[in-house]
Amino acid sequence: MQITIRELTKTFGSTPVLKGVSLEIRSGELFFLLGPSGCGKTTLLRLVAGFYPPDSGDVRFGDRCVNDVPPHLRNTGMVFQSYALWPHMTVAENVAYGLDVRSVPAKERAQRVREALGMVRMEDLADRTPNQLSGGQQQRVALARALVIRPDVLLLDEPLSNLDARLRLEMRDEIRRLHQELKLTTIYVTHDQKEALSLADRMAVLRGGVIEQLADPRTVYRRPSSRFVADFIGESNWLEGEIEEAGDQRLVARTGIGDFEASPRAGVQRGMKVWVGIRPEALDWAEGGTNVIEAELRQTNYLGEIEEYVLAVGEASFKCFVQNPERVLAPGTKLKMRVRPDDLLVLPR
């Protein structure tokens, strides 16, 4: 099911929450809405679900405008952050609830409940109640309840935020598996960048009720459209700069700690004021070459698979992530690091 959103606006009281949002979600796509609290991502999801009416604009499922269609007639399955399971019902009864409302015959209802529980690998726990389940198991039941109605669109509202780190990883894999099997158009709201980067086909980063960037995860991370997007999706070290050379073959930005060569960027011109960004993981050991940074180690934070260095670079403070660290360096150690031109972020300021 393709979903088209056109110039959607929504205001609560005197506060505008969405300001003319337009986007198209492809049939069978796993699409993420993400951004900080208050950016409008959950409001947009609830407008698609039909829980809120838009002030203006359209929501279309295929060729059909659904602005005036109530939630129970849109054939969407919703998974909430809080699971929203009935505590007095068994797992099977919770999953069957949507079918009961739709008056599905008992024999078909039982078969579809078994199928849905099988999809999320919960068929052996059908007779338990929610208080007998772990958080991850409850989330699987909520997924089964959304899938049992055979929705055209699956809507997920921060479904993993209440789980611990290990269970989040487990449920990420489960959601990826289900999407690959069912090819169901899915809209997933989160503020967790790792969930979005690891699962999304495409994502829209929202800020203040508008879309800052809409692209696939790799593009959003490696070529963010603004400093806001770059800071929201990952970490960066920033320097104020000015474009000294802008050609078809290379780009040179002058900063307070020296010149940096970057890959060419469309729309960047000589004399433009820019932010030069360096991801912590993009810094590597250097013997020479371009984009070399001389630094002094201030602090180390050992995190297992990586070690975080805090570096003094002139008057600036940089972060650097070293993968699979083997040697221990003492504060005060002089270091030479470099960043490849392709890894440098150059954004207008």
Task: Please name each of the domains of the chain with its CATH number.
Answer: 3-227 (3.40.50.300), 235-348 (2.40.50.100)
Strand pairing category for 284-285 and 334-338: antiparallel
What is the average per-residue pLDDT within 16-22? Answer: 96
What is the average per-residue pLDDT within 116-131? Answer: 90
Using a 10 angstrom Cβ sphere, with 0-12 exposed, 13-18 middle and 19 or more buried, the burial of residue 105 is: exposed
What is the average per-residue pLDDT within 236-250? Answer: 91
Tell me the pLDDT of the chain averaged across its residues: 91
Helices (H) and strands (E) in the chain, counts: 8, 20
pTM, to two decimals: 0.89
CA distance 50 to 169: 30
Over 90: is that where the pLDDT of 292 sits? Answer: yes
Over 80: is that where the pLDDT of 241 sits? Answer: yes
What's the pLDDT score for residue 337? Answer: 92
Over 90: is that where the pLDDT of 250 sits? Answer: no
When pLDDT is cut at 50, 70 and 90, the band that residue 328 belongs to is confident
Over 90: is that where the pLDDT of 273 sits? Answer: yes
CA distance 138 to 134: 6
- Residue 211 main-chain phi, psi, to 5 deg: -85, 120
Structure tokens at 204: 């829209």
What's the pLDDT score for residue 278? Answer: 96
Structure tokens at 338: 């470099």
Task: Tell me how many degrees the CA angle 42-44-50 measures, rounded to the nearest 5.
Answer: 100
Q: Are 317 and 295 in contact (CB under 8 A)?
A: no
When pLDDT is cut at 50, 70 and 90, the band that residue 111 belongs to is very high
CA distance 279 to 184: 34
What's the pLDDT score for residue 324? Answer: 81
Task: Tell me how many degrees the CA angle 62-64-68 measures, rounded to the nearest 5.
Answer: 135
Q: Are 343 and 282 in contact (CB under 8 A)?
A: yes
Q: Which tens digit of pLDDT belongs to each residue from 157-213?
A: 988 887 888 888 888 888 898 899 889 999 999 988 989 999 999 999 999 999 999
